[in-house]
Amino acid sequence: MRIIISLLALFFYACTNNTKEKQEKGNLRENTQVVSSADSTLFHFWDKVDMQDTAQVKNPEKGEQQLADFIQLLSQNPDSATRDKAVDLMLDKAKANRISFDYFIKQYEHYLYDGNSPMRNDLLYESVLRYLIKTDVLSDLEKEAYRPTYKLLLRNKEGKTAEDFTYELANGKKQKLSDTKSKYTFLIFYDPDCSHCKETIHQLRDTPQLVQLFAQLQVQILAIDPWGDRTKWKNYQSELADQWINGFDSESKMLSFNLYDLKASPTIYLLDENKKVLLKDTYLQQVIAYFVKTNS
């Protein structure tokens, strides 16, 4: 446990954590009041915003900051129906002005789905996409454009079994994700040309406390290069630890069939022994935080 706490202190400075644990103390009535108050705040968050005032809407210190604060509150609410309702109310208000509506749709995509956004959140973006594919503001053609992304978001969700896939090893043999036998699988999709991938990989490889922790918890690191350049993949072997599994998607099925949403590099999943998704599109710091919570 001391190792885990030390690691959390070491890595957590870089973590953008968009969730807060509810207090466990207090009676049921008090907890219900807190939740109701939070829901009310979400539902009325945009009441005083004039969507017709496009100058204020497009002012980064006004409209964009309002949206960032709204997203922060959404991320703290565990109930999908509440999140959907809050997003629906907000966008229903915005659709009175198509300029404001289009602006916020782009900002939602930027904050919640862009691979470089520290606030990216598939669950929240699902709420946005559910609205967009049913709204009367968009044409059928415009709505259809969002369906592939929505379908991709529904893959490999937390609590579901991860999509199985075949990969090639350096010796030419092929294995499947389901062949991995360990209590946890730290699945990392990397790009050999990605500097942030290399930084994360080196933290995993070179931090003694982290190496010890993963060994104690029986975590198998499965590193997959899905980008199709065999030479770069083979040359990258020296960047990885010998005890890791380094795989290559030789048939390019990962990208061709959109088995995983690889909008960010690296893309990290934490799986349990049955390959159920525990954490989706996460960060190293959040994996450490998960182990702190589950092993305390």
Tell me the pLDDT tens digit for each residue of 254-296: 999 999 999 989 999 999 999 999 999 999 999 999 999 988 7
DSSP 224: E
Q: What average pLDDT score do residues 118-145 get?
A: 96
φ, ψ of residue 246 in degrees (nearest 5): -110, 110
Q: Contact 286/19 with Cβ under 8 angstroms? A: no
Neighbours of 240 (CB within 10 A): 18
Half-sphere exposure of 130 (CA within 13 A, CB side): 17
Q: Among residues 217, 212, 225, 201, which one has the least CA distance to residue 272?
A: 217
Domains of the chain in start order, with CATH, are 44-153 (no CATH), 166-294 (3.40.30.10)
Radius of gyration, alpha carbons of the chain: 21
Structure tokens at 27: 């009676």
- Indicate the Cα dihedral angle 34, 37, 41, 42, nearest 10°: 70
Q: What percentage of the chain reaches a pLDDT higher than 90?
A: 83
Q: Is the pLDDT of residue 25 over 50?
A: no
Collapse the DSSP code of 117 into the 3-class scheme (helix H, G, I; strand E, B; otherwise coil) and give the result: coil
Cα diameter, the chain: 63
pLDDT at 211: 95
Is it the case that residue 1 has pLDDT exceeding 60?
no
pLDDT (mean) for 14-34? 38
